[in-house]
Amino acid sequence: MKFGPKYKIARKVGAPVFEKTQTQKYAMREARRKAVRTSKPRAKTDYGLQVIEKQKARYSYGLGERQFSKYVKQAVEAKGDSTAILLTTLESRLDNVVVRGGIVPTRAFARQLVTHGHITVNGKKVTFPSYLVKTGDVVAIREGSRKSPIFAAIDEKMKAYSTPAWIKFNPEKREWEVQGIPTVSKTDVMFDVGVVLEFYSR
């Protein structure tokens, strides 16, 4: 999924939703820009605030409107806590698991790896970033890709990386097992899930 100028988008939604906007350079740039601002930002309506939260969620996970709205609809229609169900669905995407597992740092890079066939699930190559993993699934780097320079430092990287509680890394096999329901705390995301659901329930 390609987006427009990332700095401009991040400023518009008021959050560093892209990896390139999560740097010290970007933070310093934004601090200088705000310091010289002479006018106060226009107050947003409730609808405007809902749109911003929805955009934060989409950009955070690198999703298009159609795919994201589909996830929201499924979460709302399912039995249970819609907020938790939506977050679990987003976290269960294979491209997100590749990031959470520490294989690569960005979802854009993860999508590229999956699309190019470098990642397997339960020993089978999967080329769809939207593939949803389940408890018990084992994610790994494809045998033929392990000597690629992309993964040259993976062993050292994993020694210093802490995976989420629902992922267990096996250093001998270079495998990441999903040992629980993929999820993330509402406080660990850049958007208000409740407001996102309100937007789509209008």
Q: Are residues 11 and 80 in the same domain?
A: yes
Structural domain harbouring 32: 6-36+43-89+187-200
User: CATH code at 81?
Assistant: 1.10.1050.10
CA separation for the pair 21, 198 (Å, rounded): 27
Structure confidence by residue, pLDDT tens digits, 126-163: 999 999 999 999 999 999 999 999 998 999 999 999 99
Q: Are residues 120 and 143 in the same domain?
A: yes
User: CATH code at 141?
Assistant: 3.10.290.10
Structure confidence by residue, pLDDT tens digits, 33-60: 666 666 666 667 989 999 999 999 999 9
For the chain, the domain total comes to: 2
Average of pLDDT values for 57-86?
95
This prediction has a pTM of: 0.83
Establish if 1 belongs to a structural domain: no
What integer pLDDT is reported at residue 34 of this predicted model?
Answer: 63
User: Helices marked H in the chain — which ranges?
Assistant: 6-13, 24-35, 46-61, 65-77, 82-92, 94-100, 107-115, 154-159, 193-200
Structure confidence by residue, pLDDT tens digits, 4-42: 576 666 666 666 666 656 666 656 666 666 666 666 666
Residue 76 or residue 42, greater confidence: 76
Structure confidence by residue, pLDDT tens digits, 83-104: 999 999 999 999 999 999 999 9
- State the first-to-last Cα distance of the chain, in angstroms, to the nearest integer: 26
